[in-house]
Chains A and B, each alone.
Chain A
Amino acid sequence: MIFNLLFIPEIILSIGVMIIIVIDLFLQSHKGITFKFIQLLLLLSGYYSINGQVSSIYQSYELSEFLNVIKFILLFGSFIIFHYTYKHLKYLNNLKIEYFTISILGLIGTMIMISANSMLMLYLGIELLSLSLYALIGFNKNSSLSSEAAIKYYVLGAMSSGILLFGISLIYGFTGSIIYSDIAEVINATEMNSVEYFGIIFGIVFITASLCFKFGAAPFHMWVPDIYQGSLVSTTTLLSTLPKIAVFIVFLKLYYIPFISMKSMWSDILLFVGMLSIVIGSIFALTQTNIKRLLAYSAISNIGFIILALGIVSNEGIQASLYYTIVYSLTALASFGIITHITCNSHGIEKISDLSGLSQTHPYYAILILITMLSSAGIPPMIGFHAKLIVITALIDSSYIILSVIVVIMTVISAYYYLKIIKTIYFDSREDLISVYSNDSLILSLNSISLLILGIFPYYLFDLSSYLIGLLFAISF
């Protein structure tokens, strides 16, 4: 009886997916009704996750207040993504309910990942997410770009899963357990420079490489622009929010619970990866002409900020990284959401120059893009400024002065390409068939304008993230 009350959000989603498949069989011509049912399912699951219980199952699956809030954020994010996706697919005449069922399976994967308290559950969650993403990226099956992106992501993703497993097997072999808390105890008791110590280091390095790949951080970032460009914009929206939040929580739980005794080792790795991501994301984006590739590099540099903040190993750093993750997800949702709404010559937006003249034809959408891009660039009244500010403050507090100077320089460089998009919208004019296919832009407007409102009152979100971190860690570093 206790057992079956525990993971209600996950159970609702898993059973709901099967029901949706059956409903879709009978309501082939009324996909709107099925979609309403999907939205209802997400809301129901979100309601139960925010009122969820606090417990754990055989030490391997954890339900805590912190994770309940994160699950609510994931469900809320996918609610918005599905809203954009539905319109986009309907516009493309490619509306299939399977897209949503596969996305929900990926969502369950992210929920398992963040709740995992053992390496086995972590692996299963990551695989459930990755398998869904392979299918979603290849969803546009008549396009050779989409199938090429899917096969690329498949090969690299499966390889990174293999690397993760190899790391897990090493950790298991040298600590004798796959439960996080047991691993933490064993690592704490391990002597420096013993055989076990080196084995564990190897394991951590393998796991870090694999997670950085899933995150899209710098030395493993090759796939990000290709996959963002090849897949549908709606898939890109999904790909740039849900997996990033989930992998961030996995980073937080893995490094700050089982591997915390090794912090002198992994903090350098994370700082390096974060720094490299920021530099590569800012510099390589300068030459891009495709807007999806540009946003992909922008995602890489944002991921760099998150990893950099995690690598600081201080309370401020963790709070900053959680804050940055939430802000980044909001910004990515808004920027990709706008792109799903706009078409040029009855195709989706591909080149940056496709956006030229938007301010004359659709001034309202131009303002939404303006807010989003200024927020990404980190210009003060928007929330992106506060996110970057908090990360840099945390860096300076831990006396990483040189790193913070480089970060500031890179932020200035990256402002160039965000401003280039604004310049294209407001100052370039061209006779082009740019159009917005939907009049109903309430959620999109709320999403973009929240970047401005939250930027004017930044402390609500900051209090939320420090409260959440306080729930996760009672101790300080």
Chain B
Amino acid sequence: MIPISYYLILSTIIFAISIAGIFLNRKNILVLLMSLELMFLSVNFNLITLGNYLGDLTGQVFVFFVLTVVAAESAIGLALLIVLFRNKKTIDVDDLSELKG
């Protein structure tokens, strides 16, 4: 039996990796979107673990809601990425610097 703290530490590490991926990435917006997906997966992992530990279905039902919402969210994200590429011909993070003041 693996203690619950191991699961929680693992999900926290994945969460930290995804945050680091968002802030340290200076190359490509697609990598940002992948980091975001990783973040939601770590949260789902956390919810499932805790729901199972508490013997409560709420956590697992919550995960289904999160999965559907995140699917919609990434669809919108990819659509915005296409619009951006049409206007700028690049998806480099460094080129997102027109808005400054």
Interface residues of A (CB under 8 A from B): 120, 123-124, 127, 130-131, 134-135, 138, 141-145, 147-152, 154-155, 158-159, 161-162, 165-166, 168-170, 172-173, 176-178, 225-226, 229-230, 288-290, 293
Contact indicator A165/B43 (Cβ below 8 Å):
yes
Cα of A124 to Cα of B66 in the assembled complex, Å? 9
Q: Once the chains are docked, how many angstroms separate the CA of A361 from the CA of B16?
A: 56
Q: Across chains A and B, which 4 residue pairs bring their CB atoms closest together, nearest first?
A: A173-B50, A162-B39, A144-B87, A226-B99
Q: How far is the CB of A137 from chain B (nearest CB, A)?
A: 9
Across-interface contacts of A170 in B (CB, < 8 A): 46
Known: A127-B73, A143-B87, A173-B54. A151 touches B101 (CB 8 A): no
Contact assessment for B66 and A151 in the assembled complex, using a CB-CB cutoff below 8 Å: no
Q: List chain B positions with a Cβ less than 8 A from chain A.
A: 8, 15, 18-19, 22, 29, 32-33, 36, 39-40, 42-43, 46-47, 49-51, 53-54, 56, 58-59, 61-62, 65-66, 69, 72-73, 76-77, 80-81, 83-84, 86-88, 96, 98-101
Given known pairs A155-B32, A178-B58, the reply for A147 and B88 (CB within 8 Å) is yes
> Please, which residues of chain B bring their CB within 8 A of the CB of A154?
76-77, 80
Shortest Cβ distance from residue B32 to the other chain A in the assembled complex, whole angstroms:
5
Chain B residue at minimum C-beta to C-beta distance from A127: B69
Nearest-Cβ distance from residue A134 to partner chain B, whole angstroms: 5
Task: Establish whether residues B73 and A172, one from each chain, have CB atoms under 8 Å apart when the complex forms.
Answer: no
Complex Cα gap A161–B51 (Å):
20
A152 to chain B: which residues have CB within 8 Å? 96, 99
B32 closest partner in A (C-beta):
A155
Contact of B36 among A123, A144, A155 (CB under 8 A): A155
Task: Verify B98–A166 contact, CB threshold 8 A.
Answer: no
Q: Which residue of A lies closest to B4 (CB)?
A: A173
- Secondary structure of the B contact surface, majority rule: helix
Known: A155-B22, A159-B22, A229-B99. A147 touches B84 (CB 8 A): yes
The residues of A that contact B40 with a CB separation of less than 8 Å are: 162, 165
Q: Is the CB of A230 within 8 A of B81?
A: no
Choice from A131, A176, A177, A293 contacting B72 with Cβ under 8 Å: A131
Tell whether, in the assembled complex, residue A158 and residue B101 are in contact, meaning their CB atoms are under 8 Å apart.
no
Q: Which of A159, A172, A229 contacts B58 (CB 8 A)?
A: A172
Q: Which residue of A lies closest to B55 (CB)?
A: A176
Q: B19, B33, B49, B87 — which one has the most chain A CB atoms within 10 A of its CB? A: B87
Distance in Å from the Cβ of A157 to the closest Cβ of chain B? 9
Contacts of A143 in B (CB 8 A): 87
Q: CA–CA, A131 to B22, complex, Å?
A: 20
In the assembled complex, which residues on chain A have CB atoms less than 8 Å from the CB atom of B100?
226
* Cβ-neighbour of A142 out of B51, B58, B76, B87 (below 8 A): B87
Whole-angstrom CA separation of A158 from B32 in the bound complex: 10
